[in-house]
Amino acid sequence: MPVTAGNFEAQINLHLEKTRSVMRRHDLDWLRVIVFALLILYHVGMFFVPWGFHIKNNVIYEGIKWPMLFVNQWRLPILFVISGMGTYYALSKRSGGQFAMERIKRLFLPLLVGILFIVPPQVYFERLDKGQFEGAYFDFWPARAFIGIYPEGNFSWHHLWFLPYLLVFSLLLIPSFLYLRNNPQTSLIKRVSRLAARPMGLFWLIVPLYLWESLLEPFFPSTHALWGDWFNVVNYLTLFFYGFLLISVGDIFWRTLAANRRKYLYLGIAGFSLMIGLRMFWEDSTLVHFIEALFKVVNLWAWIMVLFGYASAYLNQSSRTLTYANEAVYPFYILHQTITIAIGFYLMDLDWGFWPKFLIMVVGTFGISWLIYEAVIRRCTWIRPLFGLKNRIQDTSAAA
């Protein structure tokens, strides 16, 4: 039967009704685990590159900034998109009030624990390194650990900034998400469904991202302080909303990604190459900024589509490894940077070269995080909620 506007509309309506009962996608869980694992590698890498970090190696390696820049373009955007998708599943089984309470328990409580106990050692090692404090850790904590706001003071949420952002976004968008959940025939979802049915249709969604990147980013540099961090707030809020919206259109989205993933791969390679070429051969100016902003948003969105496309083709299956890793990833995220910085502090002045230090920090961060998780967090009922886990031993739902 030929496709007409009428029967295409009927297909969308039928699909949207089916979408409400869609089962959880294991590829999203795999992507979440993989991206958080990359985060550990990225934070170890920050010890060696010229970009600002809490402590630095005694030798800086310029070359590794290029693979880190590549990962940096899409690692946080895709996490917010995945988190928006996870919110769709969480809200499908809860009322708005139940969802709000669940978000507070699973995001605010671990954030509070992290601020009080996990982050202070990072600040302590930084103060030792910069000669701003002398003495044992328990001379620093708690007496001085919470005096003043970082970086001038010591109180901070450091790498846990993702949690307050996600909490605020989740609570702020509850009315919109409930409306979309309860009205799958709304014109917004239908429009996105039409875009998702075309190979390049979803690239229209980069228009708001381009506006934020070109008009907000120059005036609001990244601080991760939430208040005043307006580019990040608006940009990540948009990506979080996109995640909920894209999962709402369901199979149309996933089929298009799987069928066109190679096109998105070529586009991502082109976008990243153009962005790097522009940075290397042109001095910064207003015109260059507007051009680079376009390359940047095309690049990050293309790689998000690439990752979703290949994951849907090869990773949409459960396993015992995924079940274990999906629960462990949240405690790993909370713990990892403190362990990385502690190891780095004792390696930073050794003349061992890049690879010995890098491997020790990676293996040490993963290994110590796993020991703490397996021996303590996973097995202690009263500790599990402090790290965002439910009380039962097996929990396959995403924390974010």
Flag the least confident range among 73-82, 234-243, 383-392: 383-392
Cis amide prior to 77 (ω within 30 degrees): no
For residue 321, what is the enclosing H or E element? helix 320-347
Residue pair 106/399 in contact by the 8 Å Cβ criterion: yes
In this structure, how many other beta carbons lie within 10 angstroms of the beta carbon of residue 333? 25
Handedness of CA 224, 225, 228, 234 (dihedral sign): positive
155 pairs with which residues across the strands?
Answer: 149
Q: How confident is the model at residue 393 (pLDDT cuts 50, 70, 90)?
A: low
Total number of residues shown for the chain: 400
Closest C-alpha among 352, 364, 366 to residue 48: 352
pLDDT of 332 > 90? The answer is yes
CA distance 165 to 79: 12
pLDDT for 62 equals 93
Whether the per-residue pLDDT at 89 is higher than 50: the answer is: yes
Q: What is the pLDDT of residues 155-203, one digit of tens each?
A: 999 999 999 999 999 999 999 999 999 998 899 999 999 999 999 999 9
| Cα–Cα distance for residue pair 176/366, rounded to 1 Å | 38
pLDDT at 370: 98
Find out whether 100 and 169 touch, Cβ atoms under 8 Å. Answer: no
- Give all strands (DSSP E) within the chain, no chain letters: none
Q: Are 330 and 386 in contact (CB under 8 A)?
A: no
**Conformation bin of residue 61: beta by default, left when phi > 0, alpha when psi is -120 to 50:** beta
- CA 85, CA 101: separation in Å to the nearest integer? 19
Name the DSSP class of 374: I
Instruction: Report the pLDDT value the prediction gives residue 196, as an integer from 0 to 100.
Output: 95
- Alpha-carbon distance 36 to 330, whole Å? 9
Tokens of 125: 């090692």
Query: Among residues of the chain, what percentage have pLDDT more than 70?
Result: 92
Given a cut of 50, is residue 37 above it in pLDDT?
yes
Average pLDDT over residues 385-399: 68
Instruction: Report yes or no: 236 and 169 within 8 Å, Cβ to Cβ.
Output: yes
Q: Which is nearest to 79 in space by CA: 20, 17, 166?
A: 166
Of 93, 82, 87, the closest CA to residue 27 belongs to 82
Please check whether residue 43 is in contact with residue 54, taking contact to mean a CB–CB distance below 8 angstroms. Answer: no
Mean pLDDT confidence for 113-133: 98
pLDDT at 280: 86
Q: Cα 156 vs. chain centroid, distance in angstroms?
A: 19
322-336 average pLDDT score: 97
Give the model confidence (pLDDT) of 277-310 as tens digits. Answer: 998 888 888 889 999 999 999 999 999 999 999 9
Domain coordinates in residue numbering, the chain: 23-119+157-263+304-387
Residue 250 pLDDT grade (very low, low, confident, very high; cuts 50, 70, 90): confident
Rg of the chain over Cα atoms, rounded to whole angstroms, equals 22
Tell the residue number behind the tokens 């089916």, with chain if given. 18
| Average pLDDT across the chain, whole number | 92
User: Of 306, 292, 246, nearest to 74 (Cα)?
Assistant: 306
Kindly report the pTM of this predicted structure: 0.91
Residue for token pair 């103060």: 127
Element (H or E) spanning 363, and its range?
helix 354-372
Which residue in 67, 132, 40, 131 sits closest to 343, CA to CA? 40
Q: What is the mean pLDDT of residues 72-86?
A: 96
Enter the tokens of residue 114: 């992290």
Please choose, from the candidates 362, 353, 364, the residue with its C-alpha nearest in 3D space to the C-alpha of residue 60: 353
